[in-house]
Amino acid sequence: MSTLRFQALKETLNRKPLKITEPARRSEIFSSNVFNETVMRQFLTKEAFENVTEAMRTGKKIDRNVADHISTGMKEWAISKGVTHYTHWFQPLTGTTAEKHDSFFEPLSEGLAIEKFGGSQLVQQEPDASSFPSGGIRNTFEARGYTAWDPTSPAFIWGTTLCIPTIFVSYTGEALDNKTPLLRALQAVDNAATNVAKYFDKNVKKVNATLGWEQEYFLIDSALVASRPDITLTGRTLLGHSPAKGQQLDDHYFGSIPSRAISFMMDLEIECMKLGIPVKTRHNEVAPNQFELAPIFEEANLAVDHNSLIMDVMKKVGERHNLAVLMHEKPFAGINGSGKHNNWSLATDTGTNLLSPGSTPMKNLQFLTFFINTIKAVYDNEELLRACIASASNDHRLGANEAPPAIISVFIGSQLTKVLDELEKVTDGKLSPQEKTDLKLNVVGKIPEILRDNTDRNRTSSFAFTGNKFEFRAVGSLANCANAMTVLNSIVAKQLKDFKVEVDKLIKDKKMKKDDAIFNVLREYIKKSKKIRFEGDGYGEAWEKEAKKRGLSNNRTTPQALKAQVSKKTISLYKELEVMNKTEVEARHEIELEEYAMRIQIEGRILGDIARNHVIPTAIRYQNILIKNVTGLKAIYGEEYTRHAKEQLEIIESISAHIASINSNVNAMIEARKIANKIEDVEKKAFAYCDDIKPYFEEIRYHCDKLELLVDDELWPLTKYREMLFTK
C-alpha cells in the first residue's frame, strides 16, 4: 500500500475548520497595524507630520533632521504594540519580498540597554546584495546595495516586526527591485496625464494611477501537498491523470464556500484589515478548490505593495489551517489556471476617474481622450505588454481554459465600438457647427447611457474595458503586479505626451479650437489602433490567423516574448521617461531569461526523479503481481492459460511499453539538459530549455498518466487529482 499517500488522505479527512472569532465591526480594526495619518498625528511632532504627509502627496524628500523625529515616533508606536524588531521590506528581482530583521535593543555600558531606532536607520540601510539577482549590474563579490524608505507606502506591523517599505538600489544607483521603476513610471504618467487633464479642468494638479487586483489561488491540504514532490518543489503537478469529474459541471464557481476554506478566508481577512488591505470580495472560482480574493482599488504603488504582502500573509495564515496556498498559474492540467487581473485606471486629485464618462459632453470628451489614448498605447506596445507577463509558469496558463491567449488584444464591447466608428468619421480639420452638435448630443453625450446598458464581458480578452477601468487579464497569479504596472503606466505616459504635442501643434499651427484639435487627433488614433480591438473569442486557430493578418504578435513562449524587453523601441521609451536606463533594462532581461531556464531545469530534474523513483518502481511492482497471477493460471490450466490470462498479459505488455517510453524519454531529456547547461549565452540557453527540453515533459507525463490508470490504486504512490481537488 502507498503509505504516505493514504496517511495524508486520512490526516486530511480528519481535519476540522479552525474557529475564527470575528470582530464586531471590521472597521474598528482596519489599519490598526499601519503607521497611517491617524497614528502619525498621535506620535509625531507637527513638523514631522507635515513633512511626511507632504512627501506622501508630492514625493518631496524628507529632511534628514526631521527623520529622527519620525523614527522616534514610529518606534514608540511599534513598541506600544509589542514590536521588538524592524526591517526594511523590499521587493528584489526574485518576484517575492525580502527582509532582514534588526532589534530595537541596543546595549549601553555598565550592563544597561535601551531601545533605539534613529532617522538614519529609518531612511537607509545597507543589506547584503550579493545573493540577489542583478543581471550583471555588479559582481557577486560586490555585496553593497541600499534600501531607502518609500514614505508613499506606510510602514506596518507584521507579527512582532515593524516593516518599512523601501526601494532597493545598487551601489552605483541602478534599481535592483520592482518598486523603483514602478515609482518612476507612476511619476511619468502623473506628469503626462496631468498636462492632458488640464485641457478639461485647469484645477487638476496631480493624477494617480489606480489598481485593483484580483488574486486567484488554490487551497490544498498541506498533508496532500507534502505527499507530492512536484508541488512541493515547483508549485505545480508535473504529472497526474485528470479525474473523471473536473469543472465541467460548473458547480464550484460562486458555490457555497467549503467550511475550511471560509475559516481560512475569515482569518486572512482579519489580518488584512489590521494591515490596511481593503479586501472586499471572496468567492469560489471555476476550478475545484480554486478561490479568489479582491480588494477595493487603491493608488497603484500601495496596491502593488499590498498584493506582495498578502501573498506572504496568505501562506502564513494557510499554515495555521493546515492548508497550502498554491499561486502557480497552472498547478493542475485540464482545469482553469489562476490569474491576477489588474484593474487599472487614472484618477485626478480633484476626484475624477479619467476613464469614467460624466454627465456633460466635455467630461465625456475627457473620457474618450484617455480611453482612446490607452488603446493606442496598447496597440503600439503590444509585444512589450506580452513580455511583462511572461514567465515559465504563466506560459502554461495563457490560451487554456478561459485564460487570455498570448496574443494581446483590446475588448471594448459592441456599443463603444459603435461610438469609435462614429468618431472615425469626423471631418479632417475644423468641425462644422452641425457636426459638433451631432457629436456632442448623439455620440459623446450618450456614452453614460451606452455604458449603463453594456454588460458584455469577454473572458478571453487580455485587455478589456469594464465600464470605468481597463482590466489587464493576462497577468499571472504568481506575478508581482509592479512589472505589469510599470509597463502599462509607461506606455500610457508616452502616448499622452505624444498626444499633447499633436493637439498643441494643431491649435498653434492650424488655429484650431481645442475640441476640434482633440477630435482630429483622436480620429487618427482610432484608425491606427483599430487592429488591436477584437470582440470575438480569443481561443483557437481562427483568432490566431486573424491576428496574424492584422500584424499582431503571437509570442507563445517566454524566451520569445522577452525579446521585446530589450528592443531599441523599449530602451528608448524607458530612457525618455526616465523609468529605466539601458543597463537596468538589459539586467532585467537577463534575470528573467536565467530564471526561466532554471525553472525548466528544476522541473525536468524533479520529473525525471518522480518518473524513475516513484512511477516505474510502482509499475514494476504491479506488473510482478500480474506475472505471478499469470504464472498461477498457467500452473492450473496448462497450455490453455492464455485464454484465461489474456487481459493480464495485455496489461503486462502495456506496462512494459510505457516503462520503456518513460525511461528512454528521461534519458533523452537528461542528455538535452547536459547540452543546454554548457551554453553560456543566457538567451540561447533559455531557448534550448524551451525548445529542446520542455517538450519531453508532456511525453513523459503522458506515459506516467497512462500507468496511473493501469496500476492498482492501492499501490500508486502519488496523491491523485481527484483527492487533491475534491477533498475539502
User: Which of these three, 580, 607, 638, is where a domain ends?
Assistant: 580
Is residue 242 located within the same domain as residue 380? yes
| Residue 514 Cα distances to 79, 387, 453, angstroms | 57, 37, 31
Residue 609, domain member (yes or no): yes
Averaged pLDDT score across all residues of the chain: 92
For residue 595, pLDDT over 60 is answered with yes
Q: Are residues 142 and 251 part of one domain?
A: no
Same-domain pairing of 386 and 533: yes
CATH of the domain at 145: 3.10.20.70
Instruction: Assess whether 329 and 268 both reside in one domain.
Output: yes
Q: The CATH number of the domain where 634 resides is what?
A: 1.20.120.1560
- Percentage of the chain beyond pLDDT 90 is 75
| Within-domain flag for 23 | no
pLDDT given at position 109: 78
Q: What is the pLDDT of residue 451?
A: 72
Looking at the structure, tell me whether residues 119 and 194 fall in a common domain. no
Residue 455 CB neighbour total at 10 angstroms: 9
Is the residue at 587 inside a domain?
no
Span 500-521, average pLDDT:
95
pLDDT of residue 455: 46
| pLDDT value at residue 127 | 66
Which pLDDT does position 141 carry in this prediction?
A: 45
Kindly state whether residues 256 and 333 are assigned to the same domain: yes
- Per-residue burial over 528-557, b if 16 or more Cβ lie within 10 Å, else e, is ebebbbbeeebbeeebbeebeeeebbbbbb
CATH code for position 344: 3.30.590.10
CA distance 720 to 728: 14
Report yes or no: 220 and 306 within 8 Å, Cβ to Cβ.
no
Which domain covers residue 51, as residue numbers?
31-169
469 CB-near residues (< 8 Å, 6+ apart): 210, 212, 297, 343, 344, 345, 353, 355
Residue from 615, 631, 680 nearest 136 by CA: 680
Q: Could you tell me if residue 175 is inside a domain? A: no
Confidence at residue 484, expressed as pLDDT on a 0 to 100 scale: 98
Residue 446 and residue 363 share a domain: yes
547: nearest Cα among 529, 533, 562: 533
443 and 319 inside one domain: yes
> pLDDT digits over 132-184, tens only?
767 666 554 455 678 889 999 999 999 999 999 999 988 778 888 999 999 99
Assess if residue 6 is contained within a domain. no
**Is the confidence at residue 202, as pLDDT, over 50?**
yes
- Structure confidence at residue 255 as a pLDDT band (50, 70, 90): confident
Residue 13 lies in a domain: no
The structural domain count of the chain equals 3
Tens of pLDDT along 71-120?
999 999 999 999 999 999 999 898 889 888 999 988 887 788 888 898 88
pLDDT at residue 284 in the model: 92
Nearest to 183 by CA among 457, 472, 420, 485: 485
Q: Are residues 532 and 623 in the same domain?
A: no
Helices marked H in 44-114: 46-58, 64-80
Say whether both 373 and 224 belong to one domain.
yes
**pLDDT at residue number 480:** 96
Name which residue leads in pLDDT, 545 or 140.
Answer: 545
pLDDT (0 to 100) of residue 598: 97
Q: Last residue of a domain, which of 551, 580, 609?
A: 580
Do 382 and 495 meet the contact criterion of CB atoms below 8 Å apart?
no
* Mean pLDDT along residues 667-692: 98
- Amino acid letter at 160? T
For a pLDDT cut of 70, what percent of the chain falls above it? 96
Asked whether residue 21 is domain-assigned, the answer is no
Instruction: Check whether residue 470 and residue 522 sit in a common domain.
Output: yes
Q: Among residues 200, 206, 479, 228, which one has the least CA distance to residue 346?
A: 206
Average pLDDT over residues 318-331: 97
Kindly report the pTM of this predicted structure.
Answer: 0.94
Give mean pLDDT, residues 678-690.
97
Both 546 and 650 in one domain: the answer is no
* The predicted structure's pLDDT at residue 701: 98
More confident residue, 643 or 269: 269
Q: According to the model, what pLDDT value does residue 430 have?
A: 84
Q: Could you read off the pLDDT of 11-34 as tens digits, one per residue?
A: 999 999 999 998 889 999 999 999
Within a domain: residue 570?
A: yes
Question: Given 580, 610, 628, which residue is the final one in a domain?
Answer: 580
Give the integer Cα–Cα distance in Å for 500 and 504.
6
What is the average pLDDT across 369-385?
A: 98
